[in-house]
Structures are given as structure tokens and as C-alpha cells.
Structure 1
């Protein structure tokens, strides 16, 4: 028998086969369409999961397939490659009942990364192959590498400058990292380590509504509890070691609300990289780009500044780029929301920057949630993490709030203890919930240290107290009268409002612009704003050379802007402020940059209740005149607003409506439980989390006690007991009841596990899980129950023995694999096939070949009668030729004409991926007839895919643009 080969040629052939199979199964193979169509019936593939590909075919058909894209492999070479997949790389499961006497090959490939991450899978293939090669094989190959070594030792290589790049990065970071801006102005300074309390993080799943591979079973998860959207929870050290230390991802986003600690975490990451690795953290505040690309900024601004040079020689620029090529650089991009660009295009712009040598860097960026989740996300391949809020030591959590207060008041422990006692008073629940946010807790501590007075009841009042405290705090150095304070506050409000409304650089204010509002720096208001720290110089404009200023923190700019608004109609119709252009018309309720301003306006105690009530009513009764897509957005904003306007008369009604949208309702005529399309469900889920917490708890308790649907009873009870009110007794009682009466094993298992997570060591939950394991005939339910029991008690003998049994003898191979992974997780072992990077690469064609391919695809679309073939070709055509009319029209017509539900869903997903801005209005015109005024509420779900596509358009267009497209044929003008 011939000896197995593991050398370069065997590796090359095996890699070619793997790459071809992935391209074929992902609908991304670039070859003659007619030849490919002839092979499709002979090569059957099915994605069993994101990382498991099942293939059934014969060797001769694989041989033909490899020849379509490159040099054809022989039948023996293909068999050899398949054997290497099985015995060498251990990624192939042979599914044939007998390995002899049949031409048919039936096997499963277990990939390292997700299906569309071909580049990462091939890179991992290379690494695995080389790491597993016998030493003798490596020695033989090494003899052929003399030329490579000579090239590395050539004069050109040695001519590059020898620079200590890490020290350069460290010095540049030291000039940027903040300690504590809330205290440093009066000399009460904290080192970052002294006051820093580490937050846990959660990894967010990609939204199901954005994915292209959702199975019917996964689709039901759109209706599951909030924290089931979490892939994994990490404490701070776990995140650093597992995610960063193991380089699990090359693209990471840290997202959250204002003041959630995103920048502070990014600072900690920078310091960790410097202290524990040889890599290079390069910090960029994205507001500093000022219209430049990352490549331009790095070479023209960052590098000269870091080296303290006016001009940098080309050879040093080349050496800098080489650090990127070697994978040493971590780009730390702070504050996506402060970029000088329209918010709807921000993420797409960053995606366009991460190419070429810049794209070789590991990238970690921070962003506010309203930007990250505000529509089409061009960075959806990033692994996304959120900072958890501070906790109070309830329901098995640590008292992070207490730790922070103790560190802040380390020199006056009695004062800190007094604040903790005050926060624990029952009437302080609202502010207690508000200051789980790190920035707001720091503000509270600063106010308490200065005034030791009453605690505020809303975010706006918290900021108001801080403003008042600042004036008192600085009174000795910069004395001000009450009249001067009022004048300055009014001027700062006008400045903040105009910047957000008009300025391209909303949070970076040009010197001339500030002067137009506050006067020159020699005048009283401008000088006083600088002295008190409300404004700070943050740099110089690279274009004009003028000074650039920013508010104390972006949230204070939003606070002052909210103070300047005298009429709620400013948010809804764009009128009411005399210093704004009279003809300016904008529905600001739908613009993300105004969200915090609106909430802060609703929290003001000097705005009459009737004014706030009118605004909330206008939001809940908003009629968009174009299908109702914006009605929901306005309602969700009203729901969030009542968290600040706590005396709202409609609060109960608003929260009940959210619960109906979130969980569904019973239709008396149809006698069945009805649900809404996934975008409405997701919007209601988020709105419930952001609305008035006390009201949400009360309504959830009422819903749970009256709901007759087992699935939604479990769903709501778990949300209540885990997220809204940890340990809630009504939630626990409901889950205990479901464990006993649930008719479906799946619900019973979910209820039991949820009960254990809400009420640790609950014996009803543990008994139910044990009973399910011992009685069920369903392997999947048995495994899940055993894994749940093991997560409650990692040393539980029944859980461990059950998982071992399934791993060894389950009839379903996927259950065997998952049982092995479950065991590894319980033992604290790393899952080697876990997705680590999600970089998707589309194969590029040379310009000479592209027209020919486009022509062939167009011809193939017109000649095919098969709907799925038309879809595939149109999708590929749009990828090769963005905006192609034939591709767009073909996909759009399929959405309306096909009777195949699965095909309609795939077509909608394809459209969402390839649509360009100019095509969005055409989608609206084509599909709007589905959503006339006669469409009943319970009929929405029957149009769920069309609805998702229309909602996608609404997310990526302004209300005015959407309205105009809807009425483009009728000529109706927006009100």
C-alpha cells in the first residue's frame, strides 16, 4: 500500500477540493452556469448547521466539479483528499453504511468556522495541515525553501528601519487615555485602576431577521426571552483571556448606550495588549478622521504624530504597513457615533475603510446601539459584545455598584456608605435603576460628594443637578451670578441644538461655529464655558487649521440641547425654534441623533405635564400614511419616553400594547394564538426593556396570570424573573406550574431550566429535568435536559453519564457531536470548532472576464424556467454588478410570484443583501399593495417576508423618502 503523503502537493489538492465544495454549497462558485446546472442533480449538498455540510455524490462528479474552476483533480486524487479530510484533519464523517462496493460517497464535513467564512476556513485548513504534518515531511519540504530564506535576508529586507513600534504605540496611548474627566478639573484625580470596576460582557447573536439561513425551528426563537439572544456571557477577565488572548475574532464591536463604559473598556484593552503581548494597539478617535479614510489618517496624521515628525520617510511608512501585514496591529476605533458623516452611512463607510493593508489589522470598535442597530449594518460580520450594567448583588450577581461607590469614596467611606443606604430605599428604585450605567453612577457620586443632597428621579434631573453642582464647585475660582448661569446655559443649549441639527461634525465644533453662537473667546460666555469645562479644545482642524471644541461629554451636549427646546412639535414637525430655519422640516422622532435629546426633554421637571402628555399622545397616535411602518417606530419611542415621563396617563396602555406585539394575542374569531412579523416582535422586545421598569413588571405579572398559551407563558415568566425583576415570585410560581402541566416536552424542559436560572437550586426544576432525562424518547430533548442539569450542577453524575451515553451511541450524528461539545463546556474546555472569525470574501473577477460573466448570467436568467435557478443567477449577477436592473427585477418579481415559502424567504434575504439605496423606493412601489388600509392585523404574519423587506427599506430611508416613494404615483405630499 502506498504511503500517505502530507507534502505541499497533497495539501494543495486537498485544499482545492475543500474550497470547491464550499463554493458550490454556498452558491458562490464562479464557473460556466450551463455546466454547473448539469452537475447539480448529481451533487447533493445540505447545510445541517452553520459548520456542518452533508454531501452525497460520486467521485466522477466531484472530478468534473473541480475542473470547472481550476485544474481538474483525478479520481484517485479526490479519494486521497477525502481520506486526508477523514484520517489526517479529522473533519470528515463517513456516512456510508458500507465503504466498499458502491460508487456513492456520502459524508459530512465539520468546518472550523461558519459556512460563508471561506477565507477563515481555508486559513485554518493551512494551519491544521502544517501543525499535524510529521517532522520528516516538514524536513523534506524545508530543503526547498532556500530561496525564501535568501529573500528574507536580502539587503532590501534589512534596509527597513529598526523601530520599537510597541513603545511608539504606548507613548501615543499615554497622551490619549483618560483617567477621570469628572474629577480631574478640581484636582481630585483617580488613576484608571483605582476607580475602575470591571463589567461583564455578553456576546450578541446576529439578529435572526438579518440572517439568510434561519430554519423553521430557529424562527420560533424570535419570540423567545431577551437573554436567549445572547451567545455567551463573559466576566471581564474571561473576555480578555478567551476572546482577545486566543484571538477568537479579528473583527469585534463593543456596543451600548451612552455612558455604558465602552471607551473605558477599549482603554483597558489597549493597556492589556501593551502589558501582555508584543502586538501594537493603535488608538483612533473616529471623530478625528474629519473626512479622511483610515489609510490616509494613519499615514498622514497618526504616524507623524506618534513619531513627532513633520514628515515621515517612505521607508518608515513601509515599515509601518508591514506591521499590519504581519498581523501585529490592533486598530482601536472609538465612538463610531461621533464620525463626521450621516449616521445612516457610518457603518458602510467604516467597512469601505477596512481594505488593503489596513484590513490586515485586528479591529475593535465602539458604537452607540442606535447607530449599530439602526438599519442596514455593513459590519454585521463583526462579533458584537455589550457591556453589562452594574449590578446590586441580587440574584447571584456581584454588587458592582457598591464596589464602584466604595472606590470612589475610598477617602471618605462613611459618605459612600450613606449613598448606598439611600439608594436602597424603596422610593429610590427608579434612580437606582438609572445609575446602573457607569457614567450616570459616576455623575451621581460626584454630585453626592459635592452636595450630599437629594437624589434625582430621572436622567435629565441627574444632569441638571450636576450642572448646578459644577457652578457651585467652581464658584471660588470662577464666580458666577444666577443671571450669568442662565445666560450661559441658554447659549450652550443653542450651541448644542444647532450643532446636532445643522453641523456635519455634530460633536466636534469648529471655532468659527462656536464664535457665531457664544461670541469670541475674549467675550464672557465663550471664556466662561472654557473655564468651567463645559467646552474643551480637543484638536485642530487638518483642513482649516482652526481649533476644534467638544462638550464635556456628548451626553451633556444632548442635555443642553434638550434644555433649549420649548415645544415638542420641534421633534415631530421640525418647527418651534426661532433660530432654526423656518422652512426646515424634519421628523426628528425617526432620526437616531435626536433619541437621547427627546428622552432628556421628557425628563425635564420644568416642562408642563400637559406638554409631555400631548407629545406622547402624538407619538402613539402617529399615522404615517404609508403602510404603518413608521407608526410602530413612533410608538416604540413613546414607550421608551415614559421611562423618563413617569406620570404619563397612557403608561399602562402603552406597555400592554408592547406586550401584545411582543408575545402575540388570542384571536377570538379564528380561535387561535396570533403573532406579529419578526420586526415588530423585535422592536417591542427592545422597547419593553427600555420602558418604565415598574410598569413593565406590573403588566408582565398580569399577562402571565391570564395567558393560556404555554409557550408565551414560559417566555414572559422567564423574561420577568430573569431580566425585569430577578427572583420575581409570580414568575417563579408560573414556571413551577408550567413544569407540572406543560403538554409539550420542549416547553417543559425550557420551563424547568428557566426556573433553575431564575431561582437557583429550585428543587421542582431539578426534579423535572431528572424526570425528563429518565423518561423521554427524544434524543435531542434528553441531551438538552442533561446539559441544562449539568449547567446547574457541573458535577451532576446523571447529567454527565447521559451526555457520555449520547456522545457514544446516539443515532443522530449531530446529537453525538453536540453532546461532546456540551461535555467539553461543562468541563471548562475550549470548543475547537467554535466560530472565531466571520470575514466573508467574495471572489473577484478580472475586469476582462467580468463583462463575459455578466452576459452569461443575464442569458442564463432569461433561459431558465426554474425559480431557484433564476434566484441564484440573479443574486450572483447583483454581486458581480451592483445595481444591475435585471438582477433586481428578477428577484423582486420572484418575491411576489413564487408560491414556494422557503424560496420567497431566500429571495428576500438575497434582496436585503444586494439592494443599493437607489433601489429602495422601487421595492416600496412594487410591494405596497400588500399593505393597504384593508389589511387586517392578524393577516400581517402571512406577509412576513414581504413585511421584513419593507421594514428593511424603512430602516434605511428617512420617513420623508419612504413616504414619497409610497405616494410616488399618486402625487400626495407629505404632511
Structure 2
């Protein structure tokens, strides 16, 4: 509705000044749409109008002028002139019956465009049925018109944002346009029409939550070790693009009411594009003032200083901003009118970017609504820093539907037959790896462009795909900036050297200062120098100025994935990834353990110009890596080898590697012990890895394992040993994973049906399964075998309650739990209400402390129950304060044995949850370990692994390394394995030389005083 004014009489007028007549519009629209439906039905061609069916029953008019549409009505029905056509279309748009696709992110583009582009979702492709559905009395037109009248009174009249003589809406629009030019991948689009058609396809978003660690009972075997988990995400709700804009951005649905939103995704997933769409949508719908900040541009500045010193000065185009202008600008924030759009947290120079952002959203800036984008790996590394954000993950295109739709639109106006040939080639069974790759929007666009100008087939590896992409970019630029083959080789080599140096940097891997680039590429001002050429070709783009030197330019690669590809081209020998010097790691090379190098290694393995012998040697070095630390780093090396064989498909050890990963993921039958051997907690990591290794080989191994699990003799032995419960879980895990890899697998479906039919209350309650369809039953089994969660029916009213409560209300809710019978549904509602209020809410700390103290001073059993429940709620608060930490420590140290409700066990669990990264909590747990103490059934070593962050990893290794001895394992296997898996977690988060130093540096403790050392940094 942003292009229309509403009058009191219910009529609308375009901003240009044209009245909309809805009575005439209905008749005009019927004539127009009748002509369009006849046009498509008869498969006729016209240079002035292009229309066809997309996605089944959606009619797309992809190119037409008013004159062309008027001519169309003359051919099929009563003739309409251009003004009648315009009125009909604007009425349809204002009623939201058709979607206006003219430059979706810019109102000015719509106003000035002579070409009309729109879409309409019909119930079928039958002309008569569609016209009746839309125009009959009480049909869709009448419903939309009535809804429009009802809503018009509810729409607030938003005044134009002006203060100090500044039109802030116009300013924000101009700044957004500027940033859009800097952040849009213009190389992908040959013309504006192509760009429109691709902007119309958006990836869906999913509201996700980190899964809580699985809670095991005390009958877990010692070999399963401490309960350490990698962060993973559970999809809570999926949103299509327009639903996300309407419900989350406009209506503010969700726990933060749209005030704190994080968009996370893989490189090329469309995070920046999505943020651009949100920015213009906010502006065009009068929802506030969107301000864009590319976070890499901060370069050490705070958000507040950047806004005042950089953004505001550039926006107002002044040398010095006046104080009254700064105050007026700050007032916009205080009045809740500003949206901060923070792009690419992963490109900040800070080692902990999310923590830095959290610390900067204070003062007058905190009143802004915030939408932030970030790569998944960076978000996972430090998500707790922004736990008050609601997290939405950009999903890939769905295969085959959205991928095929994208290809169809790309080639629609170029060569439809060629697009169909690409689809046929891509959809072959042996192209599964490429199918996965092109679910990523950026890579799919590049593939289409490459295919459009080339007759080559599809490559087998990611490296081969990027090689084609690079060749295509040179072709794109052939007319304006021609390069010889020799120049291209020189450019690729220089870019590779530059990229490798950049990725080796601890900070600013993706934003490169002018001086840094000049050292590799020469003088940018010298025509035909390497620097000059890469700028002209678009391999590097200017993205801002350096904070350290305000006059020095900063550059970025066309996309970070290209930086990684060029760096892979610069690797001459696999020993640049791994050069093991066992006795002196400081002299070696251990890039195989650096996360930023993983993608480069995979790309190197996929290079056709690298000898097979070199690749074989590297894979062998990985699977036979001897770390000297009881294989703590060997597991990581082996997992990398499993990833690598996807790119190096004819590796001689591929079968062996996949078989080992599947065994770690699901276990194996130990014929000696006549039982099932599992590999907790390695199994969770291995189940992740099998999705990124050779899938065809995984299916073979899973099928073998399924047959093994169905072996009657083995099943009988497992039943005798485990009461049939453990057998069901393993069988379910294998069958579900096989079904994921092979959706029509008959054996997997039969196993799942058997599990469903024979389910008991322990496994999945039959009364619950009986309510569901087969697909839903399968999902219920999946939740059970992978996360041990039980389905709970919750009312929507409970989930939508606001997270605002007083101290007294929190206390009253906790105490009310004593007065509600366990079987009463109200108790579940109350518990869920409490969890919602308390989660991540520091305001809940004081009332929680009150309840704990009151309960400690009482001997009543009901108060012990309250203490037990309250300690469970403490785990949801987040980082705790000193008073709460000391209170929990006092409970654990109390000589009174709180047997009822396992109070001490819950106290240390609560302490662990709120003590992440806290050195006082670390020292307390170390003291428990030194005194050989268990807290009930809870191992302090397992708790230690959960709280470790930063330099605490180093201290933990120095403390625990002495316990990995055979004598310890023989005397106390549970303690040994707790230490082992905690050290494994340390190894995952520390660079290899730092771990070596800590391992061989005995901790010096005398009279409780620890010697202070300068500690090497942990791996992020």
C-alpha cells in the first residue's frame, strides 16, 4: 500500500495523483485477466507481452507495457485503453490480489517503470473457474475489498520523519541505495529484467533454537564419558519470504517481538540480499528508518561512534555534524524509529565479534530494532553473547522445486531449451554432489551463467565448479577489459597468493587494506598492473576506509568463497596443510586443525591439476596422524579425511574411511563382550560428518548395519543385555539416517513401521503415535532416538505470552507449583510460562535468589521440591552474577546431604550453566577434582568441559593431561573417560602447538596459589 494515499470515503489515489475507481476497476480487471488467461491458454506469442504459468497455477506476466496489454484486450475481449488498464492493475495491487514485481526494493523504480511485471496465484489453470473464483459475488475481489475497508481504519497515519530540517526517510533511502550498489553481486545479472526475475525467488527462513544437551540417567556406562555436545540447531518454524516480512518484521511475532533478529547462513546463502530486501521493505512500508552498517567497516570503532562520525556525516554530506543534528539523530533512536541492519558479523576484525556487538548495543543505540547477519560457524562459536536475539537460519533452495524454478526463470527470456538441458543434466542420479552445491543461491546463479555461455558438462567437484565460474567471469568482462590467457594465469596466481596471506591473518581475513593488497599486486593507479586489472575485472572491490588510517582504502574479494578458491590454487604442496614435527610443533604446520583452512583443503583436493599421488599421500597423512595425545587430534584429522574424499572421489582408502565414520556414528556389535559398543560422545560428531562425505558409500555401510541390527541372534543377545530399549534406539537411528540418504529405501521404511507398531511407553507412547500420520510418526521416532525428547502439547496462548514480569510475579509463579497437582495441565502451562520469563532474563536473578534462600531455611519437603525446581530454572538464566554463583557453591559445599530431589546435583548443573568462562567457577570445579569429589552422581570433570572458554582451555589441559594414564583407567574408568572427552573438547578449540605446550607444561600449584603465565589464544 505504500504507493497509495487513503481518503475518508474509502477510495485510493496513487502518489502520482490518479484516483482509483474500484467499481470500474472490477469490470476492467475482469476484461484484462480474461484476455491474459486466453493468451496463455492459446500459447500465442507477442513481443509486447510475455506471460506463462509458473509453479503450477501462478500466472506470471514477466514483461509488458500498458500499450501491450491494451492491444491484448482488443484481441480477446472488449478493448480497454491504457488508463483503464492502469486503474485495473493498481486496484488489483492495492487489494493484494496480484504481486507487483517491478523493482521490489525500490518504490521509485515502480513509479517510473514503463514495463509492468506482476504475478497472480489462481486456484487452477482453467479460465472459467479462475474468473468465477475472483469476480463472482462474494468472491476473492469482494473479500479483499471488504478486508481493505476494515483495515484502513486500523492503519496509523505515519508522519514524514523530519527534524532539524532533515528528511530522514529520504536520507535513509539514499544511503541504502549506496550500500546496495556496494553489496550487490552485479556480475550475476546481464540486465535489469534478469535481475527482477531472480529477485522474485527467495530462500525460506527457519526459526531455530540450539538444542539443549541430552540428559542421561545414572546408568550410562563409563566409556560414554562426559556429556559434551557440539552446538546444533532445531528447526522450530519455517517462514516463506513474504510471511517472514509480514509476521516477523511488520507484526513483531516471536520472543523479541521483532526487536532482535539474527539471520544466519552459509556463504552465498543470500544473507546480504535478504537484509537489503528487509531494509527497503521497512522503508517502503513506513515501519521506521533503516540504517545499514557493514560491520567490517567498524574497524575497531563502536557502533555509536560509527553512526555519529561516519554514517551521519556521509548521510548529511557535511564536513562536521552539528550538535543539534546529533541530538536529533539520537532522538530517532529513543523514539524507537530506527532499525539497525548489521551486515556480516563474520567479517569484523574482532576475535569475538558477537560479544563486541552485544557490548555496543547500549545507551541510546539500544532502543533501535536490530537485524544482524552472520555466517553459521561464527554464530555457533559465540552465540551465547547474543542469546537475547531470535535466530533465523537462511535455508538453501529446495531441490528440485526451487532450483528448477530458478533455472527456468534465468533462461526464460534467453534460451528455454538450454535451461531445460541444464536441468536434465543436473537432475541425473550421479550429480548428487553438484545438486547439493547449487542449492546455494550464489553458486546456482553462477552455474546458470556458466552454462548459458558454455557447452561444457558439469564438473564432479567444487573446485571444478569454481574453475568454470572463474573462466565465466573473464568471459563476462571480455568486451570491456579483455585479458590474455597468460594474464589470467598471472592474475589467478597473484590473487591466490594474496588470498592465502589474508586467510592466514588472525583478523580482517576478508577486508584487505590497500597497503596489504599493493604488496602482492603492485600499484593500483598504474594501468594494466595486476592491481588495476583485478579492480576492473571485479575480483576485488573497494568497500570502505581503514579505521587505523582514514585515508587508506579497504578491499574485499568478489565473494569470500572466491577468496578461498584462489587461495587453494596457491597451494603447491600438501605439506602446507600439515607438516608434523612431533617434538617441536612450533616448527611445524597444522592448518588441518584451523577452521578457516578446511574449505581450502577441500578445494585443493578437488583440483584436477594436482597429481593423484599427492592427494593419496595427504589422505594417508590424515588417517595415520600420530598426535602423541592419545588420538585427541587424530579424530579431527580423520574427520577431515572423510570430508576430503567427496572431492577426491577415487581415493583408495575411501571405503575404509566411510566404514569407520559410520561405526563411530552408530556403534558396532562387540562379539567378545556380546554387546553393542557405542562411541559417545564421538557419535554425534560422526553423524554430522557422514552427511558431508561420500553418500553413495554411506548408504552401502548403513544398509550393512541395518542388516546387522536385524540379525535375530544379535537382537536376542541385545534384548537380554539391554531390555530391548537400546536396540530400538540404534535401529531407529540407522533406519532414519538411511531414509534421509535414500528417501525411497524399502528396508528403512519397513524397520520404522515395525518400530511404530511395536512402540511402548518408554520408546514413544502409542497413544501419541496413533494420532499421527506416517510421516509424523517417523518424526516422532526421530525426536526420540536422536534427542530423547517427548512430545508435549502446549497451548498457543502460553507460547505467545510476553516475557515481562515483576519480581513478585516470578516468585508467586514458582510457589504456585506447590499448589497444582502434577496431572493438572495448568502445571505444564505454569512451568512453560516460568521458563519463558526466566530464559536469558537477568531480571529473574533476584527473585530466584529469594526463593533459593527461603527454601534453604526450611525443612519442609514441599520447599525442597521448590528448591529442586528453582535450581533447574537457574540453568536458563544465562551468565550468572557473583551472588548467585556463591550461593550455588555454598549449596554444593554444604555438609547437609540433600538426598531428596538430588539438590546438590542440580546445584552443580546450575553452576555449570551460568558459570561459562568464569575463572572462579573453574577454580571451584578444579578443587572438586583435586579432592576426588563427585557431586551426587555428577562428575566435576564433565562440568569442567562445559564452562571452558578462551584461556581456561589451556589451564584445563595442563590440569587434566596427567590423568590420561593406564593406571587411572584401570582404577577409575569413569573418571578416565570424563578426562579424556573433556580434553578432546579442548583439542577441538585449541591450536595444536598451544595444546602441546599445555600438555607438557605441568601446572604449578602451591598452597592454592597458581603461577600466572602468558597463555596462547584458544582456537575460535
Distance 2:489 2:518 in 1: 19
Q: CA deviation at 1:224?
A: 13
Aligned to 1:405: 407
TM-score (structure 2 length as normaliser)? 0.64
- Residues 676 and 937 (structure 1 numbering): CA distance in 2 closer, same or farther, change over 3 Å? farther
- Name the SS for the 2:578 alignment partner: helix
- Picking from 545, 550, 570, the partner of 2:556 is 550
- 2:434–2:460: 8 Å Cα contact kept in structure 1? yes
Q: Which moved more, 1:836-845 or 1:285-294?
A: 836-845
Equivalent of residue 731 in structure 2, options 700, 713, 718? 713
User: Is the 2:355–2:382 contact (alpha carbons within 8 Å) kept by the matching residues of 1?
Assistant: no
The structure-2 alpha-carbon separation of the partners of 1:502 and 1:710, relative to structure 1 and needing over 3 Å to count, comes to: same
Q: Is residue 2:340 matched to residue 1:351? A: no
- In structure 2, the partner of 1:426 is 429
Q: CA deviation at 1:555?
A: 0.7
Contact 1:169/1:281 (8 A) holds in 2: yes
State yes or no: 1:541 paired with 2:546. yes
For 1:288 and 1:929, the matched residues in 2 are separated by 46
Q: How does 1:74-85 map to 2 (within 5 A)?
A: none
Q: Secondary structure at the match of 1:507?
A: coil
Q: CA offset at residue 415 of structure 1?
A: 2.2
Q: What is the alpha-carbon distance in structure 2 between the residues aligned to residue 337 and residue 817 of structure 1?
A: 42
Number of the residue aligned with 1:181: 185
Contact map agreement 2:545 2:554 (CA 8 A) in 1: yes
- Partner of 2:628, secondary structure, is coil
Structure 2 CA distance for aligned equivalents of residues 675 and 818 of structure 1? 35
Distance 1:300 1:214, change over 3 A: farther
**Which residue number in structure 1 is paired with residue 376 of structure 2?**
369
Distance 2:281 2:980 in 1: 45
Distance change in 2, residues 1:252/1:959 (3 Å):
farther
Paired with 1:369 and 1:322, the residues of 2 have a C-alpha distance of: 34
Q: Is it true that 1:447 corresponds to 2:450 in the alignment?
A: yes
Residues in 2 aligned to 1:589 and 1:452: alpha-carbon distance in whole angstroms: 37
Preserved contact between residue 225 and residue 715 of structure 1 (Cα < 8 Å): no
Q: Does 1:246 align with 2:252?
A: yes
Contact 2:578/2:588 (8 A) holds in 1? no
**1:666 pairs with 2:666:** no
Per-residue Cα deviation, 1:778-837 (whole angstroms, up to 9, x for no partner) = xx98977999xxxxxxxxxxxxxxxxxxxxxx984465676999xxxxxxxxx9999599
Contact kept, 8 Å, 1:347 with 1:379, in 2: the verdict is yes
Give the aligned partner of residue 537 of structure 2: 532
Residues 748 and 614 of structure 1: is their aligned pair in 2 closer, same or farther, counting only changes over 3 Å? farther
RMSD: 4.8
Question: Which residue in 2 is equivalent to 1:601?
Answer: 604
1:485 aligns to 2:488 (yes or no)? yes
2:235 to 215, 219, 230: 230
- 1:367, distance to aligned residue in structure 2 (A): 2.1
1:904 corresponds to: 938
1:512 is the counterpart of 2:512: no
For 1:470 and 1:641, how far apart are their aligned partners in 2? 27
Post-superposition Cα deviations, 1:218-260, rounded to whole Å, max 9, x if no partner, equal: 999x999999833333333343344433242243332232212
In structure 2, the partner of 1:267 is: 276
State the Cα distance separating 1:454 from its structure 2 match. Answer: 1.1
Correspondence for 2:44: none
Q: Secondary structure at the match of 1:282?
A: strand
- Provide the C-alpha distance between the structure 1 equivalents of 2:413 and 2:220, rounded to a whole number of angstroms: 53
Q: Which residue of 2 aligns with 1:690?
A: 692
SS class of match (2:393) = strand
C-alpha separation between the residues in 2 aligned to 1:733 and 1:618?
41
CA contact (8 A) 2:632 2:987 kept: yes
1:903 is displaced (CA, Å) by 6.5
Q: CA deviation at 1:936?
A: 7.5
State the match for 2:742 in structure 1: 725
Deviations for 1:712-768, whole angstroms, at most 9, x for unmatched residues?
2112222332x333333332122123234456662575996999565x899xx99x9
User: Cα gap change, 1:936/1:549 in structure 2, threshold over 3 Å: closer, same or farther?
Assistant: same
Partner of 2:925: 891
**8 Å Cα contact 1:676-1:940 kept in structure 2:** no
> What is the match of residue 876 of structure 2?
none
Q: In structure 2, do the counterparts of structure 1 residues 781 and 418 end up closer, same or farther at CA, with 3 Å as the change threshold?
A: closer
**Counterpart selection for 1:924 from 929, 954, 957:** 957
Q: Secondary structure at the match of 1:330?
A: strand
- 1:72-471 to 2 correspondences below 5 Å: 161=164, 163-177=166-180, 181=185, 183=187, 187=191, 190-191=194-195, 194-209=198-213, 229-244=234-249, 245-248=251-254, 249=256, 250-342=259-351, 345-374=352-381, 377-393=384-400, 399-412=401-414, 413-471=416-474
For residues 411 and 515 of structure 2, the distance between their equivalents in structure 1, rounded to whole angstroms, comes to 41
CA shift, 1:462, in A, is 0.8
1:657 aligned residue: 660
* Deviation of 1:560 (Å): 0.4
Query: Equivalent residue of 2:601, what SS?
Result: helix
Q: Retained in 1: the 8 A contact 2:206–2:394?
A: yes
Distance 1:303 1:560 in 2: 37
Larger deviation, residues 440-449 vs 430-439: 430-439
Shift of 1:838: 5.5
Mean CA deviation greater in 247-256 or 682-691: 247-256
Instruction: Decide whether aligned partners of structure 1 residues 705 and 878 sit closer, same or farther in structure 2, where only a CA change above 3 A counts.
Output: closer
Once residues 216 and 866 of structure 1 are traced to their aligned partners in structure 2, the CA distance between those partners, rounded to angstroms, is 22
Question: How far off is 1:516 after superposition?
Answer: 1.3
Is the 1:718–1:754 contact (alpha carbons within 8 Å) kept by the matching residues of 2? no
Residue 860 of structure 1 deviates from its aligned partner by 6.2
Match of 1:58 in 2: none
Aligned to 1:38: none
**How much has 1:449 moved relative to structure 2?**
1.3
515-524 or 943-952: which moved more?
Answer: 943-952
User: Cα–Cα, structure 1 residues 675 and 243, in superposed 2: closer, same or farther, change >3 Å?
Assistant: farther
SS of residue in 2 equivalent to 1:411: coil
Kindly tell me: are residues 710 and 326 of structure 1, through their superposed partners in 2, closer, same or farther at Cα, counting changes over 3 Å? same
Change in 2 beyond 3 A, CA 1:241/1:854: closer
Q: 1:647 to 1:814 in 2, by over 3 A?
A: farther
Query: For residues 876 and 316 of structure 1, do their structure 2 counterparts lie closer, same or farther at Cα, with a shift above 3 Å needed?
Result: farther
Residue aligning to 2:864: none
Aligned to 1:739: 756
Deviations 1:84-135 (A, max 9, x none): xxxxxxxxxxxxxxxxxxxxxxxxxxxxxxxxxxxxxxxxxxxxxxxxxxxx
Contact kept in structure 2, 1:874 and 1:891, CA below 8 Å: no
Check conservation: 2:228, 2:985, Cα contact below 8 A.
no
Separation in 1 of the partners of 2:556 and 2:230?
A: 40
Bigger mean CA deviation after superposition, 541-550 or 445-454: 541-550
* Counterpart mapping for 1:565-584 below 5 A: 565-573=571-579
Aligned twin of 1:99: none
Q: CA 1:454–1:911 in structure 2 vs 1: closer, same or farther (change >3 Å)?
A: closer
SS in 2 for 1:479: coil
Q: Distance in 2 between matches of 1:733 and 1:169?
A: 59
Find the residue that maps to 1:623 and give its secondary structure.
coil
Query: CA 1:694 to 1:167, structure 2 compared with 1: closer, same or farther past 3 Å?
Result: farther
**Count of residue pairs the alignment pairs up:** 747
- Cα-to-partner distance string for 1:21-75 (whole Å, 9 max, x where unaligned): xxxxxxxxxxxxxxxxxxxxxxxxxxxxxxxxxxxxxxxxxxxxxxxxxxxxxxx
TM-score, normalisation: structure 1: 0.67
Secondary structure in structure 2 of the residue aligned to 1:229: strand
Pairing 1:759-770 to 2, within 5 Å after superposition: none
Bigger mean CA deviation after superposition, 811-820 or 668-677: 811-820
CA contact (8 A) 2:334 2:367 kept: yes
SS at match of 2:958: helix
Task: List gaps (5 residues or longer) in structure 2.
Answer: 1-160, 710-714, 716-726, 783-788, 797-819, 847-879, 898-902, 1005-1015
